[in-house]
Amino acid sequence: MAEFRARRGSNDNRRARPAPRRRTGFDVRAMPGAGTLAVATFFLLYIPMATLVVFAFNSGQSLSVWEGFSFRWFVSAWHNAAIQEVALRSLLIAVVAATCATIVATMAALATTRTAPYPGLTFKYAFINQPLMVPEIVTAVALLIVFSRLKVWTGYSGLGYLILAHTAFCIPFAYLPIRARLESMDLTLERAAADLYAPPLAAFRRVTLPLLKPGILAGFMLAFVISLDDVVITEFVKSGGQDTLPTYLLGQLRRGVSPDINAVATMFLALSAVVVTIYFLINRRRV
């Protein structure tokens, strides 16, 4: 009997012990050296840009010796006729291409989300996002071959080819936030409009479009930044005298870095940062 009680007591003690804590998932912060690696990565990523910005305000022509604070090179770049021309051309192409890409992406997002799943829908997703998967140099070479033939056949060699190329490349970038917005939207209001005999166009204009505006604006801004920053496709597609700001900077860098280039790059960086910040703020607010 005493032996039975002893065994029972040992079993009760085992049951009373807390179960080992199960790990809920992988946490990168628990990895040794993760914080140091993250700091080193951000340091290597941003220290070159910080150096460029600092020396854009250097009063002297040296790119390695600080000679004092000045806006001299910003004033010089602002009054440079060549920089003004390529900057206006870049903004024109980016605005038109982003607008066209956003319109096409909105229609594509509506067609692929406001429908019941059917065979081939996944292929359409892949087809729309194809420029994201293919290396940009491949897209650039393909556009060069097509547009070179079109230039011969039509005799036209204006900015239309650059706008068309940027539009095609920017569509998937605009499509992603618009589709994400549509998938997160509640269908109750759209169904209520249909129940009240609202025509599809009226329901879209009065219900879907107002709810979709943050996604459309976010898609436009993302497409705008991608177009404004593009170099590879522009280099392959552009004709003579059609430099954009990135290709102009690339051409100037081949001759050597000057303080003017630092100032232009700093202004370009500031514009991109503002647009991307607005994009993320809009994307956060929609959630």
**The two three-digit tokens of residue 234, written as one number:** 């522009």
Residue 105: the pLDDT is 93
CATH class of 82-286: mainly alpha
Instruction: Please state the φ and ψ torsions of residue 69, each to the nearest 5 degrees.
Output: -85, 135
Residue 172, CB-side half-sphere exposure with 13 Å CA sphere? 13
Q: Give the start-to-end residue ranges of the domains of the chain.
A: 29-70, 82-286
**Contact indicator for 248, 90 with CB cutoff of 8 Å:** no
Segment (H or E) for 154: helix 136-154
Residue found under tokens 């051309």:
89
CA-derived radius of gyration, the chain: 28
**The two three-digit tokens of residue 15, written as one number:** 């049951």
- Closest of 141, 66, 132 to residue 105, by C-alpha: 132
The span from the CA of 241 to the CA of 179, in Å, is: 37
Q: What is the pLDDT along the chain (287 residues), one digit of tens a residue?
A: 555 455 555 555 555 555 555 555 666 667 777 778 888 888 888 888 888 888 888 887 777 778 888 888 888 888 888 888 998 999 999 999 999 999 999 999 888 887 777 787 778 888 888 878 888 898 899 999 999 888 889 888 888 899 999 999 999 999 988 988 888 877 777 778 777 777 777 777 788 788 888 889 888 988 998 998 889 999 999 888 888 988 888 888 777 767 788 888 888 888 878 877 887 776 665 54
**The two three-digit tokens of residue 118, written as one number:** 């059917």
Instruction: Please state the φ and ψ torsions of residue 58, each to the nearest 5 degrees.
Output: -75, 135
Q: What is the pTM of this model?
A: 0.78
Residue 5: the pLDDT is 53
